Structure 1
Amino acid sequence: MQLQSNILKNFAISRFNEYYLPSINRNTFEVIDSKTFYNRKFKTLFSQQDKLNIIIGMDSGLLANYILELTEGIPDGSKFVIIELSTILPLLLIDIPSELRSKLVIIDESGLDELFKQDDIKLFIAKGEYRLIASSSVSSRHLDDYNTLLNTVESRLQNEYFDNSINFTQKIFVRTQLENIADNHTQAKELRNKYKEMVCIVIAGGPSLDDTIHWIKENQDNLYVIAVSRIAGKLAKFGINIDIVVCVDPQDVSFDVSRGMFELSDETLLVHSYHVNPKILSQWQGKCLYMGQRFPWNNENDFDNIPTVGPTVTNSAIRLAIEMGFRQVLLSGVDFCYSKSGYSHARGTVEASLGPSLGHDTLWVNTYAGYQAETLIQLKQAMESLENEAKTHPYVDLINLSSHAACIEGITHQSTEKITLHPLVKSKLLSDSRLFTTKENDLNEVYSECKNIKNELLKLQHLITDAKKLTSKLNLDAKKTSNTLDKVDKIEFKINKKYKKLSQLIKFYGYFEFSKFLTTREVESWTQQQINQMTERYYEAFSSSCDQVFKLVESACNKLQDRINELGTTPFNTLAEQWKRDNQPGRCFIWKKMHPAYSFSADEQLLWTELNNLYQLSLTQVRQAYVDTLHTGSAMEHVYTKILRLNKSQSHQGLALLVHNLAPLIEKDPEAKRLYHLALSFQLSLEQQPQQALDALLALPEELYTEMELKHIILLALKLSKLELAESTLVKILTHSDEYMPQYAHILKLRGKIQESVNVYLDYLEKYPSETQTWIKLGLFMVELNQAEGAHTAFSHALNADPDNQVALHYVAELNRIMTEAQ
């Protein structure tokens, strides 16, 4: 017997005078009115600006109406997209005012492809300014169709993010590259082949670091230590001296997770990407070298620098070790997968302090120990990149010290006991002033170059503006179109000849804007009007992107002037105000090193104290936005979704791992306890142990049961022929929905409670007279009881609801014949 709740199309009116579908929302809105319910759950969330809110299900239309009636209106820059089941959407009539149709969109699953093609949707996703929200009907997880839709959209969003973010995030790389021009002085290529035939260790933040950290401390004198920035603080506190710390991420979150690196001594060298987060680079008080290109336009000085390798900082750190000439590179904390306990990072990190990551949509990879572990799609990409690195540099011996790390071809595993180290003499790179560029000359030269580029961009913008004006007239006068296009072509020729490099930079930076003028139509089908329109859009994108790049170069010039001022006699209070505006209070320490003999006035001393306090606060205060993002991955709501996904894909191994990781949480968290028993039951069911699966659910306190647990107790009870348990549990599940009444009637019939069974069928059909299949079930039941008249009545009702139903037509004809013969 399949216990599947159906979506009944009957509306009810709550005691708060709100229409809803009981099949969708059960009794939720009988207990509380929708506005109060949504205010508690979504008011703060829905008030945020510049967010894409993708909502699965609209709670019988109540959630859509709530959005339309938001007190402050739909926030500026935000958009709501509701995705409803195609079986439900036609039942709900939502009148969206014309002025809000660009801000609130309602589609079914068939509209997903078209949705993800839209420019504004792509932009929200690429920027990561989106969130997936489950309505009340979806959160309850009682309808499999909603579970499937939620999983489908979640997977699509993940894929769309990776596809779109690649094109969009180049903006942040160019932006930080230009902002860092003032602080990128010396290239990392100065380290190339400086450590031939030596051994180093690259330390990342994976959970296996905790297994090797003591060995690293004991052997650090014989190891050249390269650490990624997020783990540097932990290593320093543990007493491990770091030779090089590597940092690459341009995002602000990089500062949040890397702040421990600022505790390192002056003996540590920072090697960073050209696009590292400016808040890190501008406040680093030690020496540093940059990887990659300093300038976003072609520059001959940068072509042979050590490159930044993605997608993670670990990839760049390993590439750096290879370029430095080490013959053997040991890896610690380079796991690229979760631990068996569900942790993604070593102890002492923000991520680890929040507990195991249990709710992410993950992939499975093999470990050196032979078992499979979970990983994220970006870590899988990092593995593939590292595999390629190993193939490209086969002469370097890459060894992972952890058996719990993900297997990567070209990288072997050895335990620390098998590693033989020899005395290491570290060269004093930091004391070699010849390696590091003299800042004053460098700043003046780069300032001159940036000013020249700014002037060139101004001239280029004038040409683009001329072309843009011409293209705006193309469709106004068809006779002059050819002449106008000739003029535009001449301007384009001049742009490509004289400003080729800058033009390429602008198109790279403005990829997203330029993509808008492209069309999916075949070239042969283009009309002249469409060609004109595309040409106009092309120059609009060119103009907009050129203007943005000009402002960035202008800002870079200003930053360079600020750095030149720091070297000179500009008053301290003037510099201090600039550092505060830039959110870089730690520059005061760098400035003091450049002016060791400077004596502060009383007012300046107050300013110094303020800057110091701001700096210390930035090193201790974790941004709530980052913590909230991490919490999302472990929210029990996401864990529930994952359990359902694993069960549907019949992954008993995935369920077993989740059961193992939920176990430590069950004493303190009732929801974790419920999910533990549910996952365990699913796992045992997949392993063909129905009695143990049933016992796992029955061990759960009854007050924690939801509809999902009750449903599966019934299914398992039926499988094990425990009809009494099935009946008593069906009584409980009926408090959630009338939809289970036909199944209850069927169980009563199986238990020989004939009249009770008939009464339940009739009670149900009195409420839902259009339920054809239930009328047919009752009719067949009456046939079994030799109740011809009752059967005829049931089948006739079925025909009233569905006149073409072949089963009902057959039985009515047959019963008419029997009753006629009986007369």
Structure 2
Amino acid sequence: MLTIIFESPSTGGSLMSSDGLFPSPQLPFDSFTQNAFGDRYLYQVNREAFNKVGASAVFAAFFGESLFHQNTLHVVVGTDSGLLLRHIAQKGVPTGSRYLFIELPHILAALESEGVLGMLGERGVCVTVGEWLSKAHEFKIEEYFYIGGVEFWQSIAAREARIPDYAEIVWSVEAGLIKLRWAVSAALGSEGFTACQMDNLAENLVPASVLKDAFRGKTAVLLAGGPSLDACLPWLEEHRNRVAVLAVSRIARRLQEAGVTPDIVFTVDPTEMSFDVSKEMLEFDEHVILIHAYHASPLLIGQWRGMSFYLGDLLPWKSPLNPPSLPHPGPTVTNTALSVAQALGFSRIILGGVDLCFSRDGYTHAKGSNEHAVGPRFDLSPIKVETNGGWQANTTADFAEAAISLAMQAVQISRSGCEIVNPSAASARMEGIAYRPLTEIQVHSAAFSVWDIVRQRVEPPTPEIRQRHYQKVLTELAKAIHQIKAIRDLAVKGLEYNLGIYGEADPRRAVKNKILLDRTERTLRTRYRQFSQLTKRLGIRDFLKITRPFEDAELDAESAKKLGAVYYEAYRDGAQRLLQMLRKAERRLNSRLEEEKAEPDFDRISQQWREDKQYGRARIWRARHGSVPLSPTHHKELENLEQLYRETLTAPDSAHLKRAKHHSSLSAAQKRGRILLKNRKTNELSDLLNSLEHHPDKQAALEYCQLISAYLAELNGDHEAAMGLLYPIVQNRESPLLEDALLRVLSISLETHQAENACSALECLSLISPVYKPQYAEMLKLLGRPIDAVDVYNDYLAAFPDQIYIQLKLARLYFDIGTPEAARMMLNYILERMPENESALALAAMIDGVNVEGERAGEPVHFTF
């Protein structure tokens, strides 16, 4: 915060900044103001956020009812001057929920003096960023994660980030939450994985284990989506016939642009987002091999037209149909591909685009990706890693976790005799992975064909092989459906018996229901043990609700009845969801059988393709059964489906693209620039400038480039250059960077003793926000314009009438310009409210002609305000 040092106008004075970077006096953090709706808040924190409709209306629109979900740990950065605490207290803390607020220390001190910190009792606490993680563990965050009950919020002030520290806290806390969520999700598994496994039953035909050691002694190049991918493509072209090219699915678009056809593609993620970023892989020719997790996106697996091999179990229960599997660790597709490459027998694996950190110009992914298309990423986290080249690079929490797991994996693989090499200096340095530039990597093996080697192991499945597979799986599904229906029926009975225990007036009937309930539970645990465990695994989050992190009421009979109901409802609902998956899989397998017929029911199979959104199966069916005669209607339907497939591949604005755009917003660059300037990070500011210069919208990024360039010039002491860069921004009154640019003009003007220039900057700033009016008034005093300063002070106090500090300054100014009556009126107003205020008493005594201790003739009087 700016420190103002001033003397009487007759003796001159100066205006200085305590850090030379942010010359804003701003309101004291303990100075609350009140709006027309009765909201008391810190103007420096929230400014005008609640002045149009009031805090409650803003919170209702911004957070909605999600802020009041039961059995949820709400982690919130910022308190919005304590108003968010009041909002929750007024609505009431939901059952089983807790609120963990993370706030700046000086704001916490102000809130404590205001008496709002304890409003939520033990169910809500406010801590600093250094304390949040330990308090989160006290609040049993892991158990909340188990039940999907952790929500992360940014207060209004944190989202706007006018105080740069908020952005840093958001990055830090979000990174910590991602790390915790990863650990818990890995332990729990996901119902979505099993759902995709069921959807892929028809295509999970050949296990990848049939390829074990097929490429012994050969070299593989494993390509991922990091920014360094492009650097290795020319080298790859030179050595193409003597290496196997393994690629993660998300880089398919880039490889097609570069004219590179991989030998093997890997995909593992079960989400539709995975399809969004990988759908171009479906256009590779039929000689490309697909190796995929059993739960990979069905939109990719079901529309793949070449040979494919799956990793993991065919079915999610013990079955003779489950084959041996190759190791396929996560959490990323690169982890999986690396382990599979070793299992396939490759003696050397060269990594390309396995960076797990950002490039110096802010890119997270290579060309051809959505992330690269929207420009560099600006909302960087504080996490950094050391690169092979020896410099520090930004990364994300998930990238950092992946780098840790990849290093552990690489160490084990290296011990087996397989060498792993990364030729990129810009990649994260990882143990077990040797750094060696491409110029030093030699490939001496003879040319070979991956397709020919695979064909020697296994022939592409014939219609007969596919039909036998479909029939075997249908038989297994029928057995499973019988078991799951029995479990569902037992769960329904369990609900009935549980109600009978607590709902019967006759104790003997209650005892009978208890015996029947115990018998039901034993049957679930013994006769139906395997499928009961599967049902529980799928509905684990529902079952975990029984062990809620916090029970806010005593467990009476009514609560015990409710818990019993929750337990058997979880069984019933889990069994029902599993039944739906199994029956859906049955329909799909029968549709696949129909596809193989000489005269299929085309309406049936096309309906299945539409239901699954697997329009590309029309193309696969045409290739396999092009000689089957179709009616004109069916022929038209086939053409429509193929058109839908093409439209899906070329759809421009996917959900993934929208998310990528959010990370590359220019407002994020503005926030990051403030933080880097504050911490004098010249190297990182240079990297940020480089990123902005690569932004796809050059015109929109121009002013941001000018501002960051001005920051660099200022830190390097070239004030003239900085001012030249700032001038075009301050001339644009509509610029979102106007306030930031004026602050720099003010800072440089103060540093170079250009008082008039500083005054002009302050005048403009005071028009943007009244927070700058006190400093503007001080500057006017120093320039010998006390009457103007009086007007500015009065304008400010009209908006913030409770600011004693400013009232004292105005009273002193009245006295200095020879209007003691006005000064005495102001002091009377202050002393009515604060009769013990020493500064007001001292000035009043002087005005009244009483000697003040420390005053000597001819010397100015000093007061502490």
Q: CA deviation at 1:408?
A: 1.0
Tell me the CA shift for residue 160 of structure 1: 7.3
In the alignment, does 2:314 pair up with 1:294?
yes
What residue number does 1:318 align with? 338
* 8 Å CA contact 1:659, 1:679 repeated in 2: yes
**2:296 match:** 276
Distance 1:83 1:330 in 2: 42
1:176/1:250 contact within 8 Å kept: yes
In the superposition, relative to structure 1, how do residues 616 and 114 fare at CA in structure 2: closer, same or farther (>3 Å)? farther
Q: Does 1:447 align with 2:468?
A: no
| Counterpart residue number, 1:193 | 213
Within a 5 Å distance, the mapping from 1:393-412 to structure 2 comes to 393-394=413-414, 395-412=417-434
Matching residue's letter, 2:477:
C
Q: Which moved more, 1:286-295 or 1:735-744?
A: 735-744
1:87 aligned to 78, 81, 87, which one?
Answer: 81
Point out the more displaced range, 107-116 or 797-806.
107-116
SS in 2 for 1:331: strand
Matches within 5 A, 1:265-414: 265-299=285-319, 302=322, 304-361=324-381, 363-394=383-414, 395-414=417-436
Aligned residue pair count: 782
Tell me what 1:515 maps to: 544
Larger CA deviation: 575-584 vs 759-768? 759-768
Aligned to 1:770: 802
- Structure 1: 5+ residue stretches without partners: 29-56
Aligned-residue offset at 1:590: 2.8
Secondary structure at 2:200's aligned position in 1? helix
Which whole-Å CA distance do the structure 2 matches of 1:758 and 1:565 have between them? 88
Question: What is the 5 A alignment of 1:693-704?
Answer: 696-698=725-727, 700-703=729-732, 704=735
Could you say which residue in structure 2 is the equivalent of 1:534?
Answer: 563
1:657 to 676, 687, 702: 687
Partner of 2:859: none
Deviations 1:310-350 (A, max 9, x none): 22212211111111111100111111122222222222333
Distance verdict in 2 for CA 1:160–1:524, change over 3 Å: same
Q: Which has the higher contact order (CA 8 A, sep 6+)?
A: 2
Kept after mapping to 1: 8 A contact 2:315/2:321: no
Aligned AA (1:311) = P
1:138-217 equivalence runs, <5 A: 142=162, 162=182, 170-217=190-237
CA distance, structure 2, for counterparts of residue 548 and residue 667 of structure 1 = 47
Map of 2:584 onto structure 1:
555
Q: 1:492 aligns with which of 516, 521, 541?
A: 521
- The superposition leaves residues 566-591 of structure 1 with CA deviations (integer Å, 9 ceiling, x where unpaired) of 22343233322321222112222333
Quote the offset at 1:76 in angstroms. Answer: 12
Q: CA deviation at 1:305?
A: 0.1
Using the TM superposition, give the Cα deviation of residue 685 of structure 1 relative to its aligned residue in structure 2, in angstroms.
5.9
> Residue 487 and residue 716 in structure 1: after superposition, are their counterparts in 2 closer, same or farther (change >3 A)?
farther
Determine the structure 1 residue equivalent to 2:704.
675
Q: Aligned partners of 1:489 and 1:813: how far apart in 2?
A: 87
- 1:581 equivalent to 2:604? Answer no
The answer (yes or no) to whether the contact 2:215–2:344 under 8 Å persists in 1 is yes
Match of 1:431 among 434, 444, 455: 455
1:795, 1:812 within 8 Å by CA — same for their partners in 2?
yes
Q: Tell me if 1:465 matches 2:487.
A: no
1:780, distance to aligned residue in structure 2 (A): 5.1
* Kept after mapping to 2: 8 A contact 1:518/1:534: no
Q: CA deviation at 1:611?
A: 2.0
Note if contact 2:253-2:281 (Cα within 8 Å) is conserved in structure 1. yes
SS in 1 for 2:496: helix
Computed over aligned residues only, the root mean square deviation of the Cα atoms, in angstroms, reads 4.5
How far has the Cα of 1:18 moved from its partner? 13
1-structure distance, mates of 2:87, 2:522: 55
Matching residue's letter, 1:332? G
Deviation track 1:498-532 (CA, whole Å, cap 9, x = no partner) reads 22222222222212212211133699986666555
Work out whether residues 227 and 355 of structure 2, in 8 Å CA contact, stay in contact via their aligned partners in 1: yes
Taking a change above 3 Å as real, the CA distance of residues 666 and 749 of structure 1, as seen in their structure-2 partners, is farther
Match of 1:747 among 779, 783, 801: 779
Q: Is the 8 A contact 1:84 1:106 kept in 2?
A: no
Q: Displacement, 1:475?
A: 3.9
Which range is displaced more, 285-294 or 795-804? 795-804
Q: Distance in 1 between matches of 2:557 and 2:253?
A: 62
- Equivalent runs, 1:752-763 vs 2, <5 Å: 752-763=784-795
Instruction: Give yes or no for contact 1:291–1:308 (8 Å, CA) kept in 2.
Output: yes
1:404 partner letter: A
Asked if the contact 2:317–2:531 (Cα under 8 Å) also holds between the matched residues in 1, the reply is yes
Please say which of residues 812-821 and 404-413 is displaced more in the overlay. Answer: 812-821
Report deviation, 1:496: 1.4
Q: Give the AA of the match of 1:675.
A: Y
Alignment TM-score, normalising by the size of structure 1: 0.83
Alpha-carbon distance change, 803 to 311 in structure 1, aligned in 2, over 3 angstroms: farther
Map of 1:53 onto structure 2: none
Deviation at 1:389, TM superposition (A): 0.8
The CA deviation at 1:750 is 2.7
| Cα offsets for 1:236-265 (capped at 9, x unmatched) | 453434221111111112222222222222
- Asked if 1 retains the 8 angstrom alpha-carbon contact of 2:226 and 2:354, the reply is yes
Q: 2:439 aligns with which of 408, 417, 431?
A: 417
CA deviations on 1:65-86 (whole Å, 9 max, x unpaired) are: 479799xx98999999998745
For the Cα contact (< 8 Å) 2:353–2:366, is it kept in 1?
A: yes
Which structure 2 residues correspond to residues 810-821 of structure 1 after superposition, within 5 A? 812=844, 818=850
Partner of 1:735, secondary structure, is: helix
Look up the match of 2:114.
none
Q: Following the alignment from structure 1 to structure 2, what is the Cα–Cα distance between the partners of residues 76 and 19?
A: 22
* Matched residue type, 2:685: L
Tell me the residue number matched to 2:575: 546
Q: Distance in 1 between matches of 2:160 and 2:635?
A: 59
Q: Do the aligned partners of residues 295 and 337 (structure 1) sit closer, same or farther apart at CA in structure 2, a change above 3 Å counting?
A: same
Instruction: State the partner residue of 1:639.
Output: 669
Aligned-partner SS, 2:227: coil
Larger displacement relative to structure 2 (701-710 or 479-488): 479-488
How far apart, CA to CA, are the structure 1 residues paired with 2:559 and 2:812?
64
Return closer, same or farther for 1:10/1:457 CA change in 2, 3 Å cut-off.
same
- Deviation of 1:778 after TM superposition, in Å, equals 3.5
Q: 8 Å contact 1:229–1:247 — kept in the other structure?
A: yes
- Is the alpha carbon distance of 1:20 and 1:255 closer, same or farther for their aligned partners in structure 2, counting shifts above 3 Å? same
CA distance in 2, matches of 1:205, 1:220: 19
**Corresponding residue for 2:659?**
629
- For 1:729, the equivalent position in structure 2 comes to 761
1:464 CA displacement: 1.7
TM-score (norm 2): 0.79
Q: Which runs of 5+ in 2 are unaligned?
A: 4-23, 103-116, 127-135, 856-865
Contact residue 727 and residue 748 of structure 1 kept, 8 A: yes
1:632 positional shift: 0.9
- Residue of structure 2 equivalent to 1:599: 629
- SS in structure 1 at match of 2:406: helix
- State how far apart, in whole Å, the 1-side matches of 2:849 and 2:502 are: 77
User: Using a 3 Å threshold, how does the CA distance of structure 1 residues 316 and 665 change in structure 2: closer, same or farther?
Assistant: closer
Q: How far off its partner does 1:618 sit?
A: 1.9
C-alpha distance in 1 between matches for 2:358 and 2:706? 22
* SS class of match (1:472): helix
